[in-house]
Amino acid sequence: MSDDRPVMPRGSVSRTARLASLPLGAAGRATLGLGKRLSGQSSDAVAAELQQRTAEQLFAVLGQLKGGAMKLGQALSVFEAAVPEEVAAPYREALVKLQEEAPPMAVRTVHAVLAEQLGGTWRRRFADFDDQPAAAASIGQVHRATWKDGRDVAVKIQYPGAATALMADLNQLSRFARLFATLFPGMDVKPLIAELRARVVEELDYSLEADAQRAFAAAYAGDPQIVVPRVVASAPKVIVSEWLEGTPLSRIIAGGSREQRNRSGTLLATLHFSGPQRAGLLHADPHPGNFRLLDDGRLGVIDFGATARLPDGHPEPIGRLLRWSLEGRADEVLADLRAEGFVLPGTTVDPQAVLAFLRPMLEPVASPRFHFTRAWMQEQAARISDPRSDMTRLGRQLNLPPAYLLIHRVTIGSIGVLCQLDAEGDFRSILEEWLPSFSA
Confidence class for position 182, pLDDT limits 50, 70, 90: low
396 pLDDT band, cuts 50/70/90, is confident
**pLDDT number for residue 23:** 44
H or E element that contains 96: helix 85-100
More confident residue, 326 or 306: 326
Label residue 76 by pLDDT band (50, 70, 90).
low
- Give the mean pLDDT of 272-283: 97
Interval 35-63: pLDDT, tens = 443 444 445 554 556 556 666 666 555 55
| 7-16, 80-89, 417-426: least confident range | 7-16
Q: Is the pLDDT of residue 64 over 60?
A: no
Question: How do beta strands 238-242 and 231-235 pair?
Answer: antiparallel
Burial class (CB in 10 A: 0-12, 13-18, 19+), 356: middle
Contact 202, 225 (CB under 8 A): no
Secondary structure element (H or E) that encloses residue 142, with its range: strand 140-147
Residue 337 burial (C-beta neighbours within 10 Å; 0-12, 13-18, 19+): buried
The closest of 204, 227, 98, 122 to 158, measured between CA atoms, is 204
Decide if pLDDT at 91 tops 70. Answer: no
Q: What angle do CA 422, 426, 428 make, to 5 degrees?
A: 115
Residues paired with 145 in a beta bridge: 129, 153
Q: Residue 179 — pLDDT band, cuts 50, 70, 90?
A: low
Write down the pLDDT at residue 202. Answer: 78
Backbone angles phi, psi at 164, to 5 degrees: -65, -45
The answer, yes or no, to whether residue 13 has pLDDT greater than 50, is: no
Indicate the average pLDDT of the chain.
Answer: 81
Give percent of the chain with pLDDT exceeding 70.
71
Report the pLDDT value the prediction gives residue 33, as an integer from 0 to 100: 38
